[in-house]
């Protein structure tokens, strides 16, 4: 089924390109990259990728590259939306920070984002281990997991934003969401707070 959907997408894109003057000279390609718990599809065309720039998180001389999550991004007359689920960067990309410290998010784009939001959540296995198998009336496991997400403040302007790590010791997924003129994107970082 995935193969059929991919073939239909490539044929539709090729048909659209062929119908626009010299657009037929650009071949649209599809690149699929498997992620730890999700999949991302990126359409290539017009000489480059239509996707958000790489971004990083740093503390005390250490820096880790964020795992790109869901996004809608445009460049010129091209645009793409891609959804991912459950993106957790590998353990080798863990940033260790003391509780109460500040990390710096660096957006890799040409200009500063209009808005930056951050939140932290426990790893899925820890959320499920602490979630009751019989939630209270009206609650669900999904809402229990959502209650484990904590909003964090962001400070600054420009391409760098400071995020205070006001979390108790433990392992977390730090999600950073950016909104720019080109679109919006989510980045995931694994942090260990001690």
Section 160-176 average pLDDT? 96
Residue spans of the domains in the chain: they are 1-34, 48-193
187-79-161 Cα angle (round to 5): 30
Q: What is the pTM of this model?
A: 0.68
Residue 15 CB burial class (10 angstroms; 0-12, 13-18, ≥19): exposed
At residue 88, the pLDDT reads 82
What pLDDT digit, counting tens, does each position of 34-75 carry? 333 444 444 444 446 789 999 999 999 999 999 999 999 999
| CA–CA distance, 12 with 49 (Å, rounded to integer) | 18
| CA–CA distance, 162 with 180 (Å, rounded to integer) | 18
Phi, psi angles (nearest 5°) of residue 180: -130, 180
Query: Which of 22-31, 76-85, 99-108 reaches the highest mean pLDDT?
Result: 99-108
What pLDDT digit, counting tens, does each position of 124-166 carry? 655 444 444 434 444 444 444 444 789 999 999 999 999 999 9
% of the chain exceeding 70 in pLDDT: 63
What pLDDT digit, counting tens, does each position of 64-73 carry? 999 999 999 9
Assigned CATH class of 48-193: mainly beta
């Amino acid at each position: 089924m995935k193969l059929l959907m991919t073939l239909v997408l490539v044929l539709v894109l090729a048909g659209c390109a062929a119908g626009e003057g010299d657009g037929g000279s650009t071949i649209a390609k599809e690149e699929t990259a498997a992620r730890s718990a999700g999949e991302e599809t990126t359409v290539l065309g017009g000489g480059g990728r239509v996707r958000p720039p790489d971004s990083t998180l740093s503390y005390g001389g250490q820096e880790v590259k964020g795992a790109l999550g869901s996004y809608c991004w445009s460049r010129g007359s091209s645009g793409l939306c891609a959804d991912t689920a459950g993106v957790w960067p590998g353990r080798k990309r863990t940033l260790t920070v003391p509780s109460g410290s500040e990390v710096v998010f660096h957006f890799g784009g040409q200009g500063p984002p209009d808005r930056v939001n951050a939140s932290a959540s426990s790893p899925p296995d820890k959320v499920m281990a602490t979630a009751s198998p019989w939630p209270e009336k009206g609650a669900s496991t999904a809402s229990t997991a959502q209650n484990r997400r904590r909003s964090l403040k962001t400070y600054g302007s420009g391409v760098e934003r400071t995020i205070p790590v006001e979390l108790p010791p433990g392992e977390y997924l730090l999600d950073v969401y950016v909104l720019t003129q080109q679109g919006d994107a989510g980045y995931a970082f694994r942090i260990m707070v001690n």
